[in-house]
Structure 1
Amino acid sequence: MIELKNIDVTFEDKEQTVKAVQEVSLTVEKGDIYGIVGYSGAGKSTLVRTINLLQRPTAGQVIVKNQELSVLSPKELRTARKKIGMIFQHFNLMRARTVAGNVAYPLKGSELTKEEIGQRVDELLELVGLADKKQAYPSQLSGGQKQRVAIARALANDPEVLLCDEATSALDPKTTGSILELLKRLNKKLDLTIVIITHEMQVVKEICNKVAVMDDGRVIESGDLVSVFTAPKAKLTNEFINTATHADQALEKIRKHPSLLDLHANDSLARITYVGESTSTPLIASLYAQFGVTTNILFGNVEILQETPIGNLIVVLNGDKHQRDKAIAYLESKQVKVDLIDTSHTVIPLRRTKIS
């Protein structure tokens, strides 16, 4: 559906040259909800604007539905852009127009009659849950309602792709959840391919099936959501994931309570991650039964990502070192990842295993 090949975007002025995007290649399949995550200045918003050529790349190819957009004539590009909707952080609604007027605006100059435009607007407002706000003005709406109007407007020309540039950043957590649920529903109902730009891995976790992590204009890691979450390769990816799973906050709190970390010679602090079928297996109980290793659970949660359960535990393993090593080997044999944590400095994975 979308293929970015070796995309570079460079901005130049008299004083400096900024390489906003560097050698990025991504493939977004039809029906994907693809998340691109990174801190401010990573280049993600610039990258997403190349998909509809709002930002022309300095180098590389942008291919959407087997069309290379950069070689299209202005008229052909306008036609292609109609099939790529876009929503933004600050909604970009026209204050002087009603909700209906905002949604109808992209249809101005189309071949539809006034009655057909009205019918299309009604359908879209019903779709986003705002049928009763048709004659309201943006100033009368909440932030979530404004974003729903922006989504309806972006869908006016029946696009096949929806680009979301920090679309939930200005919303509170509850409203963010409702907008993400709406996007998931539209993805399924309309067979809509969605690309989401965000600095919050929590957003990616809630909605995306694939993710790319950007830093300093480059994609440093990408893949399907479950693989990236359970076996991150880049340090930055691990930081985002720890924030989204609350593991980093849990470790920080544990460190501030010395009584919890009164470790002795036969103790090890560890983070345990387990996926899929392993989540429902009584592995912790098995450690004592088979190896005499007791497990004190300091933190635990279970996430459901793309219908796959993923468990995270921070534990203290107690027992003879030889038995602890055997217990860890047992966990690894069950496709469980074990990170031993050095408690003297920042968290340092001492032992890692790949989940198959």
Structure 2
Amino acid sequence: MIHLKNIDVTFNSDNRVVQAVKDVSLTVEKGDIYGIVGYSGAGKSTLVRTINVLQPPTSGEVIVDGINFLTLNKKELRAKRKKIGMIFQHFNLMRQRTVASNVAYALKGSGLSKQEVKAKVDELLDLVGLADKKEAYPSQLSGGQKQRVGIARALANDPEILLCDEATSALDPKTTQSILALLKELNKKLSLTIVIITHEMQVVKEICNKVAVMENGEVVESGDIVSLFTAPKNPLTKEFINTATHIDQTLEKIFSHPSLLTRDSKTVLANITYVGESTSTPLIASLYAQFGVTTNIIYGNVEILQQTPIGNLIVELSGDLRQREKAIAYLEAKEVTVDVLDVRPIYTAPEEVKIS
């Protein structure tokens, strides 16, 4: 559906050249909810704006539904853009217009009669759960309601693609969940292909089936969501995932309370990740029977990503080094990922000082 090939975007600013996007290639299939995640300045918004050529790339190809958008004239490009809706972080609603009028504005030049526009607007507002707000003004709406108006407006021309530029960043967590649920519903109901730009891996975890991680204008890692969450390769990807799965916060709490940890050199702390069927298999319980390695579970949770259960445990593995290594190899042979967090003694008691 969307193929970006070797995309470069370069700006000239204050007598210097800034390369915002560097040789990026990615493919979004029809029906995907594709996340592009990265910190501010990573180049993700610039990259996504090349899809509808609001930001023309310096070089590369933008192919949407088999058509290279960079070969189109202005009139042809305008027509194609109507099939690509876009929603924004700050909603971009017109304050002087009612909710219905904001949505209807997107239908200017559509050739529909007033009655047809009214019917279309009513249908869209009902679709996003705002049928009772059509005569309200933006100032009378909550942030989540404003974003729903933005979504209705973006859907006015029956797009096949929806681009979401930090669409939930200005919303509280509960409202974010409701907007993500709406987008997921629209993806299924309307066969929409959705591209989401965000700096929050939590958003990607909730809704996306594929993800690309950007840093300094480059895609440093990409793939399906389950693979990235269970076996990330890039340090930045690991950082994002640890934040989304709350591993970082959990480890911080654990290390700030030494009483939770065993204080000997035969014990290591490890993060264990299960995927799919292995989540329900009692592998941990068998480590002592087979290898004499005891397991102390300090933290655990199970999440469902794309209908796949994924479990995370933070555990202490205690036993002789050789036996621990055998136990870890056994787990890895069962397709369980084991990340040893610290191979040193967790705690060393201070030497006793004798006062003579």
TM-score by length of structure 2 reads: 0.95
The alpha-carbon deviation at position 333 of structure 1 amounts to 1.4
Equivalent pair of 2:268/2:343 in contact (CA under 8 Å): no
Distance 1:334 1:252 in 2: 29
What CA deviation, in whole Å up to 9, does each residue of 1:50-82 have, x standing for no partner?
Answer: 111110101111111111111111110010000
| Letter paired with 1:339 | D
SS of alignment partner, residue 129 of structure 1: coil
Structure 1 residues 74 and 205, CA, compared in 2 at 3 Å: closer, same or farther? same
Give the drift of 1:343: 6.4
2:170 is matched with: 170
Match of 1:252 in 2: 252
* Partner residue in 1 for 2:349: none
Stretch moving more, 142-151 or 67-76? 67-76
Q: Which portions of structure 1, spanning 4 or more consecutive aligned residues, are displaced by more than 6 angstroms?
A: none
Question: Is residue 7 from structure 1 mapped to residue 3 from structure 2 by the alignment?
Answer: no
Q: CA deviation at 1:299?
A: 1.1
Q: What do residues 126-147 of structure 1 show as CA deviations (whole Å, max 9, x unaligned)?
A: 0000000010000000000000
> Aligned AA for 1:172?
D
Question: 2:19 corresponds to which residue?
Answer: 19
Work out the CA distance in 1 between the residues paired with 2:328 and 2:108: 65
| Identity across matched positions, percent | 77
Which residue number corresponds to residue 105 of structure 1?
105
Alignment of 1:225-236 (within 5 A): 225-236=225-236
- The letter for the 2-side match of 1:234 is N
Which structure 2 residues correspond to residues 22-101 of structure 1 after superposition, within 5 A? 22-101=22-101
| 2:200 alignment partner in structure 1 | 200
Deviation of 1:238 after TM superposition, in Å, equals 0.2
Q: Secondary structure at the match of 1:87?
A: strand
Secondary structure of 2:328's counterpart equals helix
Q: Given that residues 268 and 344 in structure 2 are in contact (C-alpha distance below 8 angstroms), is that contact kept between their aligned partners in structure 1?
A: no
Distance of 1:282 and 1:146 partners within structure 2: 48
Deviation at 1:291, TM superposition (A): 2.1
Q: Distance in 1 between matches of 2:18 and 2:244?
A: 30
The one-letter amino acid of 2:190's match is: L
Match of 2:285, SS?
helix
The alpha carbon displacement at 1:283 in A equals 1.1
**CA distance in 1 between partners of 2:326 and 2:180 (Å):** 44
Q: Deviations over 1:190-224 (max 9, x none)?
A: 00000000000000000000000000000000000
How many residues are matched?
A: 345
How far the C-alpha of 1:277 sits from its partner, in A, is 0.2
Classify the secondary structure of the residue corresponding to 1:283. coil
CA–CA separation in structure 2 for the residues paired with 1:139 and 1:313: 46
AA in 2 matched with 1:190: L
Whole-Å Cα distance in 2 between the matches of residues 216 and 94 of structure 1? 34
- 3-state SS of paired residue (1:312): strand
Gaps of 5+ in 1: 346-356
Partner of 1:308: 308
> Where do 5+ consecutive residues of structure 2 fail to align?
346-356
Query: Aligned letter for 2:255?
Result: R
**323-332 vs 199-208, greater mean Cα deviation:** 323-332
> Partners in 2 of 1:187 and 1:344 — Cα distance?
48
The DSSP-based 3-state class of the residue aligned with 1:86 is: strand
Distance in 2 separating the partners of 1:14 and 1:137? 41
- 1:344 to partner: Cα distance: 6.2
**What corresponds to 1:187 in structure 2?**
187
How far the C-alpha of 1:259 sits from its partner, in A, is: 1.6
C-alpha displacement of 1:37:
0.1
Shift of 1:287: 1.1
Kindly state the Cα deviation for residue 117 of structure 1 after the two structures are TM-superposed. 0.5
CA RMSD of aligned residues (A): 1.1
Please give the alpha-carbon distance, in whole angstroms, between the structure 1 residues aligned to 2:257 and 2:120. 59
Aligned to 2:279: 279
Deviation at 1:228, TM superposition (A): 0.8
Which residue number corresponds to residue 330 of structure 1? Answer: 330
Aligned to 1:136: 136
Distance in 2 (alpha carbons) for counterparts of 1:265 and 1:148 = 56
Instruction: Tell me the SS of whatever aligns to 2:313.
Output: strand
Higher Cα Rg: structure 1 or 2?
A: 2
In 1, Cα distance between equivalents of 2:41 and 2:142: 28
Give secondary structure in 1 for the equivalent of 2:106.
Answer: helix
3-state SS of the aligned residue for 1:341?
Answer: strand
- The aligned amino acid for 1:73 is N
Shift of 1:328: 1.2
Letter matched to residue 223 of structure 2? G
What letter matches 1:164 in structure 2? C
Match of 1:223 in 2: 223
Q: How far apart, in 2, do the equivalents of 1:192 and 1:294 lie?
A: 50
In the alignment, is the contact (CA less than 8 A) between 2:85 and 2:154 conserved in 1? yes
Whether contact under 8 Å (2:211, 2:224) holds in the other structure is yes
Classify 1:268/1:13 alpha carbon distance in 2 versus 1 (closer, same or farther; 3 Å): closer
TM-score normalised according to structure 1 size? 0.95
